[in-house]
Amino acid sequence: MRSTRVRLLGAWCAGLLLAGVSVVVGCRVADADGVTPVPQLLAFLPWLIVPTGAGILVTMLARWWTGLLWGVVVLGLLAWSVEPYGTGDEPGGPALARLRVLTSNVEFGWATDALIPVVRREQPDIVFVQECEYTCQAAVRRQLGDAYPYRQAVPGDSSVGSIILSRFPLTAAGTIPGEMGMPGAVADVDGQAVRLQLAHPKPPLPGQVTVWKRELGRLRDFAAARRDDGPLILAGDFNASQDHAVFRRILHTGLRDAARLAGDDREPSWPSRTTPAFGAQIDHVLVSKQFAASDARFLRLAGTDHRALLVNITLHQG
């Protein structure tokens, strides 16, 4: 009798684990982000293998064979879901320019002092900085102004401010509306016009999921409208991973993730305290079909919960 009660309790525990994972995996398979807490859990989709495995183990101990089949199906769908997204075709034209691009969320400007020596050491050609408030913007202008004489910024306090730094001449372009600054510019890269756009939508916090979806939708609409308008680099803190449907829809416009092209599709960028052992890749450099990528590195900066992303990309004719 006691053994029966223990098996029944085990079956209930396994059922709760598998039900929770099934909701998240079901949304991933259905290409939907759902409502809280699904968007938050989707960011950590690969780690749902742990509760799934625990659920399967408990079903075996409880001799609940229907639950075991359920767990195996969920595990199979989860394994299929975490496969990296496609890279698309490599550009076929001759190489026109080689660029280094850095994107970094400096968390309310707290990591500004850590970012500046990294920029000096790595010497990227274009730098996208999110959450660069007034003090941060003043510091990068003062200390990096000689190396990066061209800048486009949205001034703001706290998380609102953002700035693009460039070695190449910049022409101002329209910003994308959002609660945090997302400036744009056109860079003259050795005579080639390259559209630059900083991305920083709101995070999917409880109560803000609708805003998160709307702002990522604006990024998708921007990318779709420019699909045939020449080279484009869309970079920043997207607050979304490849397991979010709203992020994949941006990729469906023809953009490709440079980290994925370089073979680092699952390297986490946030939260920095637990990376690389645990986290989500929510900082991205997306490039249009004219670009190839050969290397990507995630750099730890003191003072921010994001790792910076540095990528080497090549602009091709075509």
Q: Is residue 114 part of a domain?
A: yes
Same domain? 173 vs 296: yes
Which residue, among 123, 118, 145, 24, has the nearest Cα to 78 in the 3D structure?
Answer: 24
Q: CATH number, domain at 225?
A: 3.60.10.10
Give the amino acid at 317. Q
Q: Is residue 90 part of a domain?
A: no
Same domain? 12 vs 141: no
Same domain? 118 vs 145: yes
- Other CB atoms closer than 10 Å to residue 252's CB: what's the count? 11
- Other CB atoms closer than 10 Å to residue 134's CB: what's the count? 14
- Cα-based torsion angle of the residue sequence 290, 167, 250, 45 in order, rounded to the nearest 10 degrees: 110
Same domain? 148 vs 244: yes
**CB of 201 closer than 8 Å to CB of 190:** no
Same domain? 120 vs 263: yes
Distance CA 223, CA 236 (A): 14
Same domain? 147 vs 257: yes
pLDDT higher than threshold 70 for residue 109: yes
Q: Is residue 19 part of a domain?
A: yes
Mean pLDDT of 226-243: 95
The pLDDT confidence band at residue 225, using thresholds 50, 70 and 90, is very high
**Each residue's pLDDT tens digit, 114-154:** 999 999 999 999 999 999 999 999 999 999 999 999 999 99
pLDDT higher than threshold 80 for residue 2: no
Q: What is the pTM of this model?
A: 0.95
Which contacts (CB < 8 Å, 24+ apart) does range 46-54 have? 46/82, 46/266, 47/278, 48/21, 48/24, 48/78, 49/75, 49/78, 49/79, 51/17, 51/20, 51/21, 52/17, 52/18, 52/21, 52/78, 54/17
Same domain? 149 vs 248: yes
Same domain? 197 vs 310: yes
Residues of the chain by 3-state class (helix, strand, coil), percent to 5: 35, 25, 40
**CB of 88 closer than 8 Å to CB of 112:** no
Q: Is residue 89 part of a domain?
A: no
**CB of 303 closer than 8 Å to CB of 107:** yes
Same domain? 36 vs 148: no
**Each residue's pLDDT tens digit, 18-72:** 999 999 999 999 999 999 999 999 999 999 999 999 999 999 998 899 999 999 9
**CB of 50 closer than 8 Å to CB of 64:** no
**Each residue's pLDDT tens digit, 257-301:** 999 999 888 999 999 999 999 999 999 999 999 999 989 999 999
How long a stretch of residues is the chain? 318
Same domain? 129 vs 238: yes
| Block residue for tokens 């699904």 | 38
Distance CA 10, CA 77 (A): 23
The average confidence (pLDDT) of the chain is 94
Helices H / strands E in the chain, number of each: 9, 12
- Contacting residues for 51 by C-beta, under 8 A, at least 6 apart: 17, 20, 21
Q: At 160, which helix (H) or strand (E)?
A: none
Residue finishing a domain among 52, 81, 110: 81
Distances (CA, A) of 40 to 13, 89, 209: 22, 31, 9
C-alpha angle with apex 168: 163 to 169, nearest 5 degrees?
85
Task: Specify the pLDDT at position 82.
Answer: 84
Domain span holding position 101: 95-316
Distance CA 202, CA 208 (A): 8
Residue finishing a domain among 47, 81, 115: 81
**Each residue's pLDDT tens digit, 149-169:** 999 999 999 999 999 999 999
Number of structural domains (the chain) is: 2
End-to-end Cα distance, the chain: 74
3-state SS, residue 54 = helix
Same domain? 60 vs 101: no
Same domain? 108 vs 131: yes
